[in-house]
Chains A and B, each alone.
Chain A
Amino acid sequence: MTIFEALFNPSVFASAFRLATPLVFGSIGGCFTKKVGIFFIAYESIMLISAFFSAWGSYLFGGALFGLLFGIAAALVTGFVFGLLVINFKADSLIVSIALNYGAWAITTQLLVSVFNTRGSFFSTDIINYKEIEIPFITSLNNETLNILLNNKLLIVYLWPIVVVLAYIFIYKTSLGLRMRGVGINALASTSAGINVNRYKWLAVILLSVALGAAGSYLPLGGVSMFAESMTAGRGSICIAAVLIGNGNPLVTGLVALLFAYSSAIALTLTSLYIPTQIVESIPFAIVIVVFFVYGIKNFRVKSRLA
Chain B
Amino acid sequence: MNKRIINDDFIRTAVRYTVALVMVIIAGTIFILVQGEDPLNAFRLIINGAFGNRAGWGSTLRYMMPCILLGTAAAVAFKTGVYNMGIEGQLYIGALVAAWIGYSVELPALLHILLCIMGGGIAGMLWALIPTLLKLFFNLSEMVITMMMNYLALLGTEFIVRWLILEGVGGSVVIETPNINNSASLPALIKGTSSNTGLFIALAVGLGVFILFKYTFMGYELKQVGENLKFAKIGGVNVVKMFMSIFMISSFIAGLTGAIEIIGPYKRFGASFAKNLPWEGIMISFISRHSPLAIIVVSFVWGALRAGAMNMERFTTLNKMTIYVLQMLFVLFVSVDYELLWRKIKTVLRGLERQLGETR
Chain B residues with CB under 8 Å of A301's CB are 137, 139
A270 at interface, CB cutoff 8 A: no
B273 at interface, CB cutoff 8 A: no
A101 to B145, CA, bound (A): 18
Evaluate contact between B138 and A276: CB separation under 8 angstroms. no
Evaluate contact between A102 and B148: CB separation under 8 angstroms. no
Chain A residues with CB under 8 Å of B331's CB are 95, 98-99
Chain A: number of interface residues, binned into ranges: 35 or more
Evaluate contact between B35 and A90: CB separation under 8 angstroms. no
A169 to B285, CA, bound (A): 41
Closest A-chain residue to B34, C-beta based? A114
B332 at interface, CB cutoff 8 A: yes
B65-99 interface code vs A (CB 8 A; 1 in, 0 out)? 00000000000001000010000000000000000
Chain B residues with CB under 8 Å of A279's CB are 155, 159
A57-93 interface code vs B (CB 8 A; 1 in, 0 out)? 0000000000000000000000001000100111110
Q: Which of A85, A94, A114, A276 contacts B162 (CB 8 A)?
A: A276
A293 to B329, CA, bound (A): 37
Evaluate contact between A102 and B280: CB separation under 8 angstroms. yes
Evaluate contact between A89 and B324: CB separation under 8 angstroms. no
Evaluate contact between B156 and A306: CB separation under 8 angstroms. no
Closest A-chain residue to B279, C-beta based? A102
Chain B: number of interface residues, binned into ranges: 35 or more
A47 to chain B, nearest CB (A): 15
Evaluate contact between B162 and A278: CB separation under 8 angstroms. yes
Evaluate contact between B240 and A98: CB separation under 8 angstroms. no
Evaluate contact between A99 and B134: CB separation under 8 angstroms. no
Chain B residues with CB under 8 Å of A244's CB are 141, 144
Given the interface pairs A102-B328, A103-B324, the reply to whether A114 lies near B140 with Cβ below 8 Å is: no
Residues 209 to 240 of chain B near chain A (Cβ within 8 Å): 233, 238-240
Given the interface pairs A240-B147, A307-B240, the reply to whether A95 lies near B336 with Cβ below 8 Å is: no
Q: List 20 A-B contacts (CB under 8 A).
A: A90-B336, A99-B332, A100-B332, A102-B279, A106-B325, A110-B321, A113-B319, A234-B151, A237-B144, A237-B147, A276-B159, A278-B159, A285-B149, A292-B145, A292-B148, A293-B140, A299-B138, A302-B137, A304-B137, A304-B240
Measured CB to CB, the residues of A under 8 A from B are 41, 81, 85, 88-92, 94-96, 98-103, 105-107, 109-110, 113-114, 234, 237, 240-241, 244, 276, 278-279, 281-282, 285-286, 288-289, 292-293, 296-297, 299-302, 304-307
Measured CB to CB, the residues of B under 8 A from A are 35, 78, 83, 134-141, 143-145, 147-152, 155-156, 158-159, 162-163, 168, 233, 238-240, 243, 276, 279-280, 282-283, 286, 319, 321-322, 324-325, 327-329, 331-332, 335-337, 340-341, 344
